Amino acid sequence: MPEQKGWIRKIFGSVFTKLLLVILLTGICVNIVVVGFFWIYRSDPGRPLHQNILQYLNYIIDDLGDPPNLERARQIGRQASLQIYYEGPGLSWKTAAGVSNLKKVHWRDWGTHPVIRVGRYRGRHFVEVGHRSGRFIFGFDKDTEMVPQQGRRVVILISLLTLILAGAFFSIRWILKPVRWLEEGVRQVGGGNLKHRVPVKRSDELRELALAFNDMTERIRDMLHAKERLMLDVSHELRSPLTRVKVALEFLPPGQTKESISADIFEMEKMINDILETARMHHLHAQLKLEPVNLADLLAEAVVDYQKQAPGVQLTDVPAALEVRVDRRQITTVFKNIIANSIKFSTAGSGPVRICAKSPPDGTVVQIADDGIGIAQDELPFIFEPFYRIDKSRSKHTGGYGLGLSLCKTIMEAHGGRIEVQSTPDVGTTVSLFLPGRGI
């Protein structure tokens, strides 16, 4: 019995079942409304309306007498808001001047009635009735509706169908709301926010999908934390043997072997320090020493060590009075890393590395552009990952460990900013550094 209840609950809790029910109910309601509408108004409204109008007009014609009396026609015209035109053997008259445009009226037969025609001209309705005493034309006021209920019924039908379809739309929208939650979750996690969780408020397949998504995000976060923890632990553990190696190295006689080992130890120490510095910056959001700094002076200090290196560095457009609130040491590290990369990957024919700054309404932007070898488009999404290098051979000639851009990204995010890279192979690369808060 519990298994049967679970099976029934699974079927009626299914998203597919809910959508199917909404579609079926919508179709049933539409059919009921349309069939009911035409059942209620199944009789043809035109036929009795023709008969009633003809009978009414015949009463007026009989009241006018034979031959028709003009004064009586005028009196009836004033009372019933009619204009009457008569044309018979040896006699013709009209009750108002407006009936004089009858030749311009567009006439048509009304149904199959042999003695009645209707016409329209400039918003006014006309009815022509053939009689034994002559021809009568009755002109109605512009606001007179010949079929007053027809338009109203169509409006009612359209309104009912609109309500049904609107109800179906909002029902489906409510059922699929978890899909929008999942979409937002994918966007948040894709942007690096692994703390985001998708709401779990339903009991259908989308609930299971949300639970699986949250579990996946949790596992990814645990894996990344484990990876960072491993790098930190290994880096800390390597310091002790490196220190012992350095001590032992002092007892070796001077020579090429000692110099080679010293260079390798120095390289390992630098890599360990970069790893530890990157990990430390992940926790600096509340520890940054923010202070107002003149951006022009900061950039001038950062480029000093690179101006004599080919192809050189130029500050092309940096406002002299632009101030930003940053951690001076950390932002200088970012500038130096980006400038060093630009110089490193420039070619013999490249122009100088160009640095400019501007202050849009939403913050401050520093751009560092070069004419170097560029970066392939399929490489760009990965260049900020730790230890990722475009040079897959990891040659010492290009230097670095793939930690520089990762550290730059961490520092920029610690400041509440971001870093973006646009690059074209064999054309050059532009790195944009966005800092929040407009420069003073």
Please report the pLDDT score of residue 31 as a whole number: 78
What span, in angstroms and rounded, lies between the C-alpha atoms of 126 and 122?
11
C-alpha distances out from residue 411 to 115, 260, 286, Å? 93, 33, 12
Residues 170, 29, single domain; the answer is yes
Please report the pLDDT score of residue 88 as a whole number: 84
Please report the pLDDT score of residue 275 as a whole number: 67
**Tens digit of pLDDT for each residue in 335-377?**
998 999 899 888 888 889 999 998 887 789 999 999 988 888 8
User: Has residue 320 been placed in a domain?
Assistant: yes
Please report the pLDDT score of residue 65 as a whole number: 85
Residues 264, 378, single domain; the answer is no
User: Has residue 134 been placed in a domain?
Assistant: yes
Residues 91, 195, single domain; the answer is no
- Strand 91-94 with 313-317, pairing: unpaired
Is the pLDDT assigned to residue 294 strictly greater than 70?
yes
Is the pLDDT assigned to residue 264 strictly greater than 90?
no
Residues 331, 245, single domain; the answer is no
Residues 6, 65, single domain; the answer is no
How large is the average pLDDT for residues 164-179?
80
Is the pLDDT assigned to residue 150 strictly greater than 60?
no
The answer to whether the peptide bond before residue 68 is cis (omega within 30 degrees of 0) is no
Most confident of 46-60, 103-117, 402-416: 402-416
How large is the average pLDDT for residues 83-105?
77
User: Has residue 185 been placed in a domain?
Assistant: no
Contact of 371 with 345, CB cutoff 8 Å: no
Residues 298, 399, single domain; the answer is yes
Where b means 16+ CB within 10 Å and e means fewer, 338-371 reads: bbbbbbbbbeeebebbbbbbebeeebbbbbbbbb
User: Has residue 404 been placed in a domain?
Assistant: yes
User: Has residue 342 been placed in a domain?
Assistant: yes
Please report the pLDDT score of residue 440 as a whole number: 45
Please report the pLDDT score of residue 394 as a whole number: 44
Give me the number of domains the chain comprises: 4
Please report the pLDDT score of residue 24 as a whole number: 78
How large is the average pLDDT for residues 293-300?
89
Is the pLDDT assigned to residue 4 strictly greater than 70?
no
Please report the pLDDT score of residue 354 as a whole number: 92
Q: How confident is the model at residue 1 (pLDDT cuts 50, 70, 90)?
A: low
Residues 250, 131, single domain; the answer is no
Most confident of 89-103, 118-132, 252-266, 424-438: 424-438
Position with higher pLDDT, 44 vs 421: 421
Contact of 433 with 334, CB cutoff 8 Å: yes
pLDDT > 70 fraction of the chain, expressed in percent and rounded = 77
Helices 205-249 + 256-281 axis angle, to 10: 150
Is the pLDDT assigned to residue 433 strictly greater than 90?
yes
Please report the pLDDT score of residue 156 as a whole number: 78
Is the pLDDT assigned to residue 386 strictly greater than 60?
yes
Is the pLDDT assigned to residue 112 strictly greater than 70?
no
Q: What is the CATH number of the domain that holds 365?
A: 3.30.565.10
User: Has residue 180 been placed in a domain?
Assistant: no
Is the pLDDT assigned to residue 100 strictly greater than 60?
no
Chosen domain end from 281, 307, 341? 281
Mean pLDDT, all residues of the chain = 78
Residues 319, 197, single domain; the answer is no
At residue 95, what is the residue type? T
Is the pLDDT assigned to residue 178 strictly greater than 70?
yes
Please report the pLDDT score of residue 286 as a whole number: 46
Q: How confident is the model at residue 280 (pLDDT cuts 50, 70, 90)?
A: low
Give the three-state DSSP class for 395.
coil
Task: Give the domain extent around 357.
Answer: 290-436
Position with higher pLDDT, 167 vs 282: 167
Most confident of 128-137, 200-209, 232-241: 128-137
**Tens digit of pLDDT for each residue in 24-50?**
788 788 778 777 776 765 544 445 556
Residues 344, 401, single domain; the answer is yes
Residues 424, 311, single domain; the answer is yes
User: Has residue 183 been placed in a domain?
Assistant: no
Residues 312, 431, single domain; the answer is yes
How large is the average pLDDT for residues 280-306?
78
Of the candidate ranges 195-204, 304-313, 345-354, 360-369, the one whose mean pLDDT is the lowest: 195-204
pLDDT > 90 fraction of the chain, expressed in percent and rounded = 7
Q: What is the CATH number of the domain that holds 230?
A: 1.10.287.130
Is the pLDDT assigned to residue 91 strictly greater than 80?
yes
User: Has residue 9 been placed in a domain?
Assistant: yes
Helices 15-40 + 148-175 axis angle, to 10: 170
